[in-house]
Amino acid sequence: MTPDRPVPHERVRDWLDDFAGFGADADYMAGLGREAYLADSAQGRLLRNAGERLLIKVATIVERLPEEFKAAYPDVEWSNINRLRNLVAHQYDKVNDDLMFATLRRDIPALIERLGLSV
In tens, the pLDDT along 44-56 reads: 999 999 999 999 9
What's the number of domains the chain is made of?
A: 1
Dist. CA 78–CA 68, nearest whole Å: 13
- For residue 93, is it within any domain? yes
Establish if 4 belongs to a structural domain.
no
* Domain of residue 73, residue span: 9-114
The answer as to whether 94 is a domain residue is yes
What was the pLDDT predicted at 1?
A: 47
Residue at 80 is within a domain:
yes
Judge whether 2 lies within some domain: no
What pLDDT does residue 3 have?
Answer: 55
For the whole model, what pTM was predicted? 0.85
> Rounded mean pLDDT of 87-96?
86
**Beta-carbon count within 10 A of 74 CB:** 8
The answer to whether position 78 is within a domain reads: yes
Determine contact, residues 97/54, Cβ cutoff 8 Å: no
Contact 70, 78 (CB under 8 A): yes
Mean predicted confidence (pLDDT) in 62-78: 93
Residue 119 has pLDDT above 90, yes or no: no
Does a structural domain hold residue 1? Answer: no
Residue 66 covered by a domain = yes
Q: For the chain, what percent of residues have pLDDT higher than 70? A: 96
